[in-house]
Structure 1
Amino acid sequence: MAARAASENAKTCVQVHGGMGFTWEVDAHLFLKRAWILETLFGNLDEDADLIALHVAASL
């Protein structure tokens, strides 16, 4: 859930800054890249929900 929130916030930040969001002068691009890395390393909300459902189904 945190990875999705980070990704959405970073995307919004880049949109607000427009073309400056991808330049080195504004750190918005760094936040977006970090959010993408978080989602890659820890998965996103859909993957987490699938994993929880799998464990619940296995315990029944």
Structure 2
Amino acid sequence: ADIAAARLLADEAAERGARDCLQVHGGMGFTWESEVHLHLKRAWVRAQRGGGTTESEELLATDLTV
């Protein structure tokens, strides 16, 4: 359960950080001249890898209800 919670927090932090970075860089963050957009794409892929967040959420919910 601790690992599932840590994974959920890490995935959320990675996506939020990448979105904030894109907001700061504005339109430049979406161009190929800047690698900012790649961080958001990597955060999305990381969140979906290994079953996605749904699997971690279900594991954490099961552990909390027991």
Instruction: Note whether the superposition's TM-score is higher than 0.5.
Output: yes
Letter in 1 for 2:59: L
State how many pairs are aligned.
56
List runs of 5+ in structure 1 lacking aligned partners. none
Question: Structure 1 pair 55/13, CA: closer, same or farther in 2 (3 Å)?
Answer: same
TM-score, normalisation: structure 2: 0.70
How big is the shift at 1:49? Answer: 3.2
How big is the shift at 1:28? Answer: 0.6
Q: Which residue of 2 aligns with 1:30?
A: 38
List runs of 5+ in structure 2 lacking aligned partners. 1-8
Aligned alpha-carbon RMSD (Å): 1.7
Identity of aligned residues (%): 46
Deviation digits for residues 27-59 of structure 1, max 9, x if unmatched? Answer: 110100000001111433xx32321222455xx
Spell out structure 1 runs of 4+ moving beyond 6 A: none
Q: SS of the counterpart of 2:33?
A: coil
Question: Highest relative contact order (Cα 8 Å, sep 6+), 1 or 2?
Answer: 2
Q: Which residue of 1 aligns with 2:11?
A: 3
Letter in 2 for 1:18: G
TM-score, normalisation: structure 1: 0.76
